[in-house]
Structure 1
Amino acid sequence: MRRPWHAALAASAVALVVRLAVVAWAYPSFPPSADGTFYHKLAVRLAEGHGYTWLWPDGAVTYAAHYPVGYPALMALGYALFGVHPVVAMVQNALLGAAMAFATHVLVEPLVSRGVHPRAPFLAALGVALHPALVPYTAALMTEGTTTALLVISAAIATSPPAGGGWGGRVMLRLLGAGITMGIATLVRPQSLVLAPVLGALALAPSFSWRARAAAGGAVLAVTLLCCAPWTLRNCMRMHRCALVSVNAGWNLFIGEETRSGAWEEARFPEECSTVWDEAEKDVCLERVAHRRIREAPAAWLAKMPRKLAVTFDYFGAAPWYLHTANPSAFTERAKLALGTVETVASRLLLVVSLVAMGWRPGIRRNLRRLAGLVGVLAAFSPFGWLAYLVLALLAAEAALAEPAGMVLFGWTAAIIAATAATHAVFFGAGRYGLVVVPFVTALAALVVRRPTPA
């Protein structure tokens, strides 16, 4: 059946237009802010040929690896081609957002043959194109928007046909493309690595055995690691530590052990690490302190996990926070509250609709699914909204096993929610880290529109 590329392109065009409008509005008034300040400076040094290094106020230059290299490298490519200005990075964000809308359509389309309404792929893509948590974040020189787009695009590349045969050229190309995209995603956000074998396993058609899926998962993981290998080797040589991508896991674990709110807080620097100046060694020192404190009080550390999950899933607020931080006079507290309210209402409503779509699917275990969906809906209207996302992950995992045509969409959604929850329960939470689940929740919500049942 001919794929309706015109609908996917239309949604992608809408996504591009609204994001370019954000760029036109934002670039004169909103300079790089928060971590974006460092990404921009590192990208400038890369574009100017200085390598991934940091210039200190006293003129000293040191090799850097605290921040993952992927996003500054993508920015640097644009800066090298079109000039060093943040607007170039914003336009890159807009292009990735448009590609993400197109990829969303590709992800949902296989389910049209399984009772989903033919317009559902377009509605899903349009939802991603216009989502108030995603569109304003185009102005942010931050990693989360790029990571989100790459995860959707990699899943679209891996999407399997409804039936399949052996290890043909198309299957191998699909696995190779998914691995390369996941390699880029890992260089942008290192924890994406754990998702690579999952995507490989999901990428095969229903006729393949679980042994073949394990092999495909290993193949995608291998390609992902090969993409990262040159940078890992660079770290071995320059940072004197063979870190896969970055040397900040110790920092993040230490902050996660210290936090009281569950979010990032200014940590009290331990005395034993205060005179460790080497970037990699400081990370090791902080990791050692965090491990010791967790062993000494494991119950207190575990008790913080619900708060970490709450600040990650209950309210994203990435765009309002960034825009207000970048220019408080141009984007006031009132504007921050208004945009935060709009995106929270939209996100929570889409979460509820997605729970209904997944919980009230036809087929076996119908009553159990409806019970789980009802629990999720009640959680979505409660102060414990993060529980609704975990319920959605369970429903999506069940759907992946029951519905081969939607294996990639359902399985990938479950994996991303689970991986995000696990990562930030261990480290610390923030709404911007939960942003990666937004397009998948939106895609599942579109499935509530089904074909009319024949009389």
Structure 2
Amino acid sequence: MQALRHHAPLALILLVALIWRLILWAQPLHLPANDEVEYLTVVRDLLGGRGWVFYESWPWLRAPLYPLFLAGSLWLADGDVHLAALPNLGLSVAVVWLIYLLARELAPEGSRRPALLAAAIAALLQTYATFASLYMSETLFTFFFTGSWLALARWRRKGGLWRVGLAGALLGLACLTRSAGLAFVPVAMAWIVGLDLWRRRRLRVAAVAPALMMAVVTVLVIAPWTIRNCFAYGECVLIETGSARDLWVYYEPRETIPEIHAQLKAIPSPAERADFATQRGLERLREDPMIFLRKIPTEWIRLWSIKPIEDRFLLPDYNSDPPPLIFLASLLLDDLLYFVIMCAAPFGIALALTRREGLALPMLFWLLIFLAATMVTHAEWRYRHFLFMVLIPLAALALDGFWRGERLRLPTLTVVALPLSLMVLAFLAYYPWAWAAQGTQRSVYRQTGDWHAAAGRDEAAAAMYLAALRASPTPDGWLVLGDLHRRKGDLAATERYYQLARENRPGYVGASVVMGDFLREQGRVDEARVAFQGQFLEEQRALDWGFQMLEPTPLPTLDVGSGLDLGYVDGVYPAEMQQGRQTRWTNGWARLRLDPLDAEAGLVRLTLRAAAPHPDGLPVPLTICAQRQCETVTLAPAWRTFHLLLPASNEPLQLRSPTFYAPDRRDLGVLLDHAAVRGLALP
């Protein structure tokens, strides 16, 4: 019973962390942003057996471990990108546990309260919870890097070369995820030697052995990738080349970023690319050495300020509104909680140094070295992930100290005041106050309107939705108002509000696809085709968004590629003319929404017209599944119509086939032309 009471607080925190992450993950699949697009493309190359071909024509070479991790996750998820985020989500929960353990090492003989507070902060911090569902490397890096810190902390108390070796292995894996971890190698080695010197009051040769052990193991973990690069490119690249590109891009180049990327893409070798970018960056710096000083304030602001960018929320489109409760939570669990961490952590460092906690110095040195590196190269707000595993335990230590009435001396407070004031200034001066105020009003009104609508109070809901639009006019605001009138059967008002959504943001996929679905439902097929095309809208975006977000009117027949199939097909490419038909290629894993419109049907008779003109001309198997019952047919290059009996299902039909890699970098499976289902009673 005592053991249960001891472990219950941490178990509860981990459970909250898991639930919070699952709530965010359960939202509709988000549109990949920033580095996610690159990672997903590389992963598809890896799973397709094409290796690292992507980086033969990309401005930089990435560290390999996260693409390999994501490829494994996607393989385990059987190609389902949404499910592929779950292993990363599990790592994010594990990070909460590691931060708890690391905070315990800051005061191993003291109270568990700072460690539990650190775990609670890590569990609730919305940045951590959001990145659990993003296809980004920060969570994997944090897991390995925090594990390396913890192994070193345990070695400090318990000894054992194997713990130092484990720290080196985990640090090597962190570096293969993001090379920023390399800066920690000299910090760790110096701390290991310095710790023995402080204890013994003299330098011993034996003290060097653990430091060398860690460095050697780190090098051995990294070496296979470096050796691979040496053979692949004729010149060695330690891990990645992004810093070389940054040296050119972020030192006031005379070229635009697209021009820089075009020049780098024209160089086939990543090693030569890095040499060229470094040379151009240094040339510019020699022309104007003051660039270095001018960029420091910019990078400082980027690192510590809040920016409402694409990957702040998990959104199906960049123009979508965050769910109201998620937005309101972000102001507390993202912005405010981050501000508390930022303000408390410097006091935590000072408190730990005053107590002579052994981990305080390496934590301080890591913060200083990383800050110096980002000022020299480039900073982004998400780079705070490289600091949070240190800042959160230190902040918890400070908050606990304040609670217990500990005080710092005036000289110490003076030293803390300067960096803290600069951090707070960057936060407060550049915080998007207007965005937060408008978003708060919009979210409160929108959520209140949703509650009224759920209770059947349509007039009150409409009033709240209009109030939300007055606070912040967004296309989603008009769409929810149109949806409300669509449910009421007021078609004229529905069309008017949907049109206002399109006018508010002409390129927004949601406004175009919802309007197209509405017009299609009314039988206005020509207008629906035009609406689905949108303005400045890629057809692939409309296809993906339509299947994910629409609940279209059930249909028993479907002409694939007709321009009216959005919402009914998934895992397909934009329509094209093939063999005299307007059709769509699948990507090897497609889905069809078809309904026999017969509630009593136990079976359906599927009629499907398809072809598989692969370059080798060989027959291609196509497997079609419903309710886990699958049938396989063989397709030839020419069109074939076939009929299958399958169980009636409320879920989409799944179509799987082998693919080939087309010159335009698409994985192509089979061509689909027409599909239909007819209900049959069970015998």
TM-score using structure 1 length? 0.75
AA aligned to 1:437 is: L
Kindly indicate whether residue 94 of structure 2 is the aligned counterpart of residue 99 of structure 1: yes
* Residue of structure 2 equivalent to 1:120: 114
Deviations 1:391-447 (A, max 9, x none): xxxxx6x45xx52xx423x23432332232122111122101122222322211221
Q: 1:138 to 1:163 in 2, by over 3 A?
A: closer
* Residue of structure 1 equivalent to 2:18: 16
**Cα separation, 2, equivalents of 1:287 and 1:333:** 43
- Post-superposition shift, 1:131? 0.8
- Structure 1 or 2, whichever has the larger Rg, is 2
Secondary structure of 2:54's counterpart equals: strand
Mapping of residues 301-320 of structure 1, within 5 Å = 301-315=292-306, 320=311
AA aligned to 2:165 is: L
* Residue of structure 1 equivalent to 2:370: 420
Q: Is the 8 A contact 1:22 1:135 kept in 2?
A: yes
Q: 1:240 to 1:257 in 2, by over 3 A?
A: same
Q: Is the 8 A contact 1:63 1:239 kept in 2?
A: no
AA aligned to 2:118 is: A
Q: 1:302 to 1:180 in 2, by over 3 A?
A: same
Kindly indicate whether residue 98 of structure 2 is the aligned counterpart of residue 109 of structure 1: no
Q: 1:334 to 1:79 in 2, by over 3 A?
A: closer
Tell me which moved more, 265-274 or 312-321. Answer: 265-274
- Post-superposition shift, 1:321? 3.9
Deviations 1:352-385 (A, max 9, x none): 23334444x3xxxxxxxxxxxxxxxxxxxxxxxx
- Post-superposition shift, 1:121? 0.9
**Cα separation, 2, equivalents of 1:336 and 1:9:** 24
Tell me which moved more, 130-139 or 199-208. Answer: 199-208
* Residue of structure 2 equivalent to 1:50: 50
Secondary structure of 1:246's counterpart equals: coil
Kindly indicate whether residue 401 of structure 2 is the aligned counterpart of residue 407 of structure 1: no
AA aligned to 1:417 is: L
* Residue of structure 2 equivalent to 1:194: 183
Kindly indicate whether residue 381 of structure 2 is the aligned counterpart of residue 431 of structure 1: yes
**Cα separation, 1, equivalents of 2:343 and 2:137:** 27
- Post-superposition shift, 1:187? 0.7
Mapping of residues 337-352 of structure 1, within 5 Å = 341-342=331-332, 343-352=334-343
Deviations 1:120-140 (A, max 9, x none): 211111111111221122221
**Cα separation, 2, equivalents of 1:129 and 1:437:** 16
**Cα separation, 2, equivalents of 1:106 and 1:267:** 45
**Cα separation, 2, equivalents of 1:441 and 1:318:** 23
**Cα separation, 1, equivalents of 2:92 and 2:262:** 44
Q: Is the 8 A contact 1:9 1:102 kept in 2?
A: no
Specify which of 245, 251, 255 is matched with residue 251 of structure 1: 245
* Residue of structure 2 equivalent to 1:446: 396
* Residue of structure 1 equivalent to 2:619: none
**Cα separation, 2, equivalents of 1:178 and 1:191:** 16
Deviations 1:332-363 (A, max 9, x none): 5999986764422221122223334444x3xx
Task: Tell which has more relative contact order, 1 or 2 (C-alpha 8 A, sep 6+).
Answer: 1
Tell me which protein shows more helix as a share of its residues.
1
**Cα separation, 2, equivalents of 1:431 and 1:5:** 34
Secondary structure of 1:449's counterpart equals: helix
Tell me which moved more, 190-199 or 4-13. Answer: 4-13
* Residue of structure 1 equivalent to 2:149: 155
Q: Percent identity?
A: 21
* Residue of structure 2 equivalent to 1:386: none
- Post-superposition shift, 1:112? 4.3
Secondary structure of 2:20's counterpart equals: helix
Mapping of residues 312-391 of structure 1, within 5 Å = 312-315=303-306, 320-321=311-312, 323=314, 327-331=317-321, 341-342=331-332, 343-359=334-350, 361=351
Q: Is the 8 A contact 2:367 2:387 kept in 1?
A: yes
**Cα separation, 2, equivalents of 1:310 and 1:431:** 9
TM-score using structure 2 length? 0.52
Mapping of residues 132-171 of structure 1, within 5 Å = 132-160=126-154, 163=157, 171=160
**Cα separation, 1, equivalents of 2:111 and 2:21:** 28
Say what the alpha-carbon RMSD is for the aligned residues: 3.5
Q: Is the 8 A contact 1:235 1:243 kept in 2?
A: yes
Tell me which protein shows more strand as a share of its residues.
2
**Cα separation, 2, equivalents of 1:187 and 1:70:** 5
Aligned pairs, number:
394
Tell me which moved more, 416-425 or 285-294. Answer: 416-425
AA aligned to 1:110 is: E
* Residue of structure 2 equivalent to 1:172: 161
Kindly indicate whether residue 74 of structure 2 is the aligned counterpart of residue 79 of structure 1: yes
**Cα separation, 2, equivalents of 1:336 and 1:24:** 12
Q: 1:42 to 1:163 in 2, by over 3 A?
A: closer
Deviations 1:210-246 (A, max 9, x none): 6555543332122111111111111011122200112
Q: 1:423 to 1:43 in 2, by over 3 A?
A: same
AA aligned to 1:233 is: I
Deviations 1:291-315 (A, max 9, x none): 1111221112222112112201233
**Cα separation, 2, equivalents of 1:9 and 1:312:** 33
